[in-house]
Amino acid sequence: MATDWADVVERYRDGAELPSMPGARTLKVTGADDGYVYVSHRLWKDKITRAHLEKAMTLLDEGRMTRNYGDVIDHYRTYIADERPTTAATILKDLGYLD
């Protein structure tokens, strides 16, 4: 079952620094609300859509998407959205959905 979104908002409300893929800089989560998780990097700021993350959580729970952190990026881009898939994978890993 997908993580309750209220738990996601609570987890990221005050921000968080998440380790990214090996060799990449740390991802900074700057907050969350009912619709998005807000993120920033050294060169950009963006938001990840709740509906996309929840769809990924459901597919992962159902075993219809790989749990491998390195491979999930392409699956996310193909089956969910081409919306910062590496960033989404980092958030999903922090939430315990990826290995």
Q: What does the pLDDT read at residue 8? A: 96
Q: Which domain holds residue 34?
A: 5-94
For residue 63, is it within any domain?
A: yes
Q: What does the pLDDT read at residue 19? A: 85
For residue 21, is it within any domain?
A: yes
Counted domains in the chain = 1
Q: What does the pLDDT read at residue 24? A: 66
Q: What does the pLDDT read at residue 43? A: 87
What are the C-alpha distances in Å from 27 to residues 20, 58, 83?
6, 23, 15
For residue 99, is it within any domain?
A: no
Task: Report the amino acid identity of residue 94.
Answer: D
Q: What does the pLDDT read at residue 23? A: 63
CB 2 within 8 A of CB 58: yes
For residue 47, is it within any domain?
A: yes
What string of pLDDT tens digits covers the 99 residues of the chain? 578 999 999 999 999 999 876 666 789 999 999 999 999 988 899 999 999 999 999 999 999 999 998 899 999 999 999 999 999 999 999 999 998
CB 46 within 8 A of CB 87: yes
Q: What does the pLDDT read at residue 3? A: 81
Instruction: Look at residues 20, 53, 26, 19 and name the one whose alpha carbon lies nearest to residue 41.
Output: 26
For residue 12, is it within any domain?
A: yes
For residue 52, is it within any domain?
A: yes
For residue 87, is it within any domain?
A: yes
Task: Name residues whose C-beta falls within 8 Å of residue 47's C-beta, 6 or more positions apart in sequence.
Answer: 36, 37, 38, 39
pTM confidence score: 0.92
